[in-house]
Structure 1
Amino acid sequence: MPIDRRNLLTASLALPFASAAAQAAWTRPAGLVPDASVALWPAGRLTPPPGLVEQIVQRSDDPNASDRMLQGVSRPRLDIFRPTKPNGAAVILAPGGGYRYVVIDKEGYELARWLKERGVTVYVLFYRLPGDGWTNGSDIPLTDAQRAMRIVRSRARLDGIDPARIAFGGFSAGGQVATSLLTRFDASVYAPVDAADALSARPDAVAAIYPVVSMDPAIAHAVSREKLIGANPDAAREKLYSPERNVRADQPPLWLLHAEDDSVVKVANSVRLREATRGVGAPCEAHFFERGEHGFGLMKTAGLPVAIWPDLLWNWLGSHGII
């Protein structure tokens, strides 16, 4: 895939705090460029913790397969990918990163491009991280997810989308963001700041791909758990931040994907959430594959049955009236 060198100089992430070394270290395949970027919060609303600085880190040595991550998120935002012919559907994507950083390419821009080519307007969410020193840090990812839903709904006419056809998808720790929103979309985790906050934060569908879900130490992803709720949470705190223990009959339709050989986030996270969701009579479709490991996204599925997953997701979104 050819490299568009001009994009090196006009990085659309709008990251003024990225280090010079990070800026020099990465190249981006043509096509992985957002059409716009919007802040989640009004100017002056957020005061970043002392010393918090955003920076991009490139994790790939392959110039044709960029794998960047964003650390120290201080300006939560939505990067927008607009299709040439919008079909009215919208998807918000929350990439993973173990609540230590937010992946940019493989769980964000790559799927955004795939969906954009099919007429979906896509918003890649760069959410704040619970271990970065924000007040009420455990609720910070959910706060940004709720706000993202409301901002997207408020922009429906501007972006040419249907405010009743907005799905929210998350990968790995971003799957914990997604499944927290699934069950706590109406939790009061921040004070309203403008008219957008009068809108519902309930997604019309939720997809969670190899998600971190539970805070039960028997199956939890240890790093995500400690970042989110600390090293020694009490039982009530562990329960509150475990979506499988907070399922409700009125939650959105749920789609789950996990590889059974995942050595990073145990498949039991998805299994428990599926069983709990079915237990309350809420709709859920789950796909478990023998192989795939963790973090496969779109680029690491070659030769494996799990490679079909984007089409399975597409068909499910259609079955629920999103596309």
Structure 2
Amino acid sequence: MKPFLSILCAFCISALSLAQNTINLPFDKSPGVTWESEEKNYFSEIWQNQVVTNVSVPTMEIFKPEKPNGTSVIIAPGGGLYALSIKSEGTDVAKWLNEKGITAFVLKYRLVPTGEDGVAEISEEGSTNPQRIMERVRPVLPFSISDGLSAVSYVRSNAKGLGLNPEKIGFMGFSAGGAVTMGVTFNCTEENRPNFIVPVYPWMTVIPKYEVPEDAPPMLIICATDDPLGLAKDSANLYMAWLNENYSVGLHMYAKGGHGFGMKKQGLASDNWIAQFHSWALSQGLTFPVGGM
């Protein structure tokens, strides 16, 4: 009886592991950064969106399509590194990609330690003391980037078991998540190099002076000219950096869209950015139509 119970127990544990949607990523300790509050998931009246704050332990939530085509995308939501706009720049993106056969991973990377309402904190500091934001972000960003690198390593090392192509792993990040995307690109090795990247209105002023890496991955940049944070110029410069080195790069710069549009509908051309990403990915051979390989 005991051997039977042991086998049954092992089977149940294995089945639970396979069914689990949240992946705990390995990470090193964060010297100099202390989180006193627990991770929090709530609706922000300020941003009118579901957000996550106080992430101290990196995780990913996996979204699997009914008909996977082997392509995967790691999604890094934005939020100034004080929060994650987890719905419009995370789960809603993942669900749209699933409809196209793409497996999605929504990454919760480490954030600036905040109090009860991280969105309120960054909003207040943004209007009264913007320099304070940079002071709080700088020591945390390297850990956020490390979490992004761990995410790519996880997907690549587990690609076979997940039914994924280890050479079709994308990284898409929004605003601060765009900074994580580019930090991953500038600091990756062969093991954790994404095969394509999609920085969406990336926050480049927090990234130190950069050089385009050798064998830089194909990149599609998304931004709006009227971004109130002034991110359009940096997006254009990023495009030119890739172009000057003759690497594959595309740019969709919308006249209107503002900042943080994600999957929100504004009745503007920028509403279609994700469909244009998909068209780009198809044309690059980075993904396939549903049912095709």
5+ residue gaps, structure 1, are 1-33, 187-198, 216-224, 226-240
Query: 130-139 or 204-213, which moves further after superposition?
Result: 130-139
More helix by proportion, 1 or 2?
A: 2
Is 1:246 the equivalent of 2:211?
yes
Counterpart amino acid of residue 162 in structure 1: N
Show the counterpart of 1:54: 39
Distance in 2 separating the partners of 1:290 and 1:321: 28
Show the counterpart of 1:148: 151
Shift of 1:156: 0.8
CA contact (8 A) 2:35 2:54 kept: no
Show the counterpart of 1:161: 164
Is 1:313 the equivalent of 2:252?
no
Show the counterpart of 1:69: 51
Distance in 1 separating the partners of 2:208 and 2:113: 17
Is 1:295 the equivalent of 2:286?
no
Q: Secondary structure at the match of 2:229?
A: coil
CA contact (8 A) 1:265 1:294 kept: no
Show the counterpart of 2:11: none
| Cα root mean square deviation, aligned | 2.5
C-alpha distance after superposition, 1:243-267 (max 9, x if no partner): 6x32124110110011101102420
Shift of 1:129: 2.1
Show the counterpart of 1:255: 220
Distance in 1 separating the partners of 2:153 and 2:144: 14
Q: Secondary structure at the match of 1:57?
A: strand
Is 1:170 the equivalent of 2:155?
no
Q: Matched residue pairs, number? A: 246
Q: Secondary structure at the match of 2:96?
A: helix
CA contact (8 A) 1:181 1:202 kept: yes
Is 1:120 the equivalent of 2:102?
yes
Counterpart amino acid of residue 71 in structure 1: T
C-alpha distance after superposition, 1:162-198 (max 9, x if no partner): 1111110000110111112222213xxxxxxxxxxxx
Q: Secondary structure at the match of 1:150?
A: helix
The share of aligned pairs that are identical, in percent, is 31
Counterpart amino acid of residue 100 in structure 1: Y
Q: Secondary structure at the match of 1:51?
A: coil
Shift of 1:208: 0.9
Shift of 1:279: 1.6
Shift of 1:93: 0.3
Shift of 1:300: 2.8
Cα 1:119–1:57 shift into 2, 3 Å: same
5+ residue gaps, structure 2, are 1-18, 115-135, 288-293
C-alpha distance after superposition, 1:110-153 (max 9, x if no partner): 01000011111100000002567899634111100100000011
Name the TM-score, length of structure 2 as normaliser: 0.77
Name the TM-score, length of structure 1 as normaliser: 0.70
Cα 1:299–1:249 shift into 2, 3 Å: same
C-alpha distance after superposition, 1:12-63 (max 9, x if no partner): xxxxxxxxxxxxxxxxxxxxxx970100127xx65782514211231259xx
Show the counterpart of 1:90: 72
Show the counterpart of 1:25: none
Report which structure shows greater RCO (CA 8 Å, sep ≥6). Answer: 2
Q: How do residues 206-285 of structure 1 correspond to structure 2 at under 5 angstroms?
A: 206-213=197-204, 215=205, 225=206, 241-242=207-208, 245-285=210-250
Shift of 1:66: 7.4
Is 1:99 the equivalent of 2:102?
no
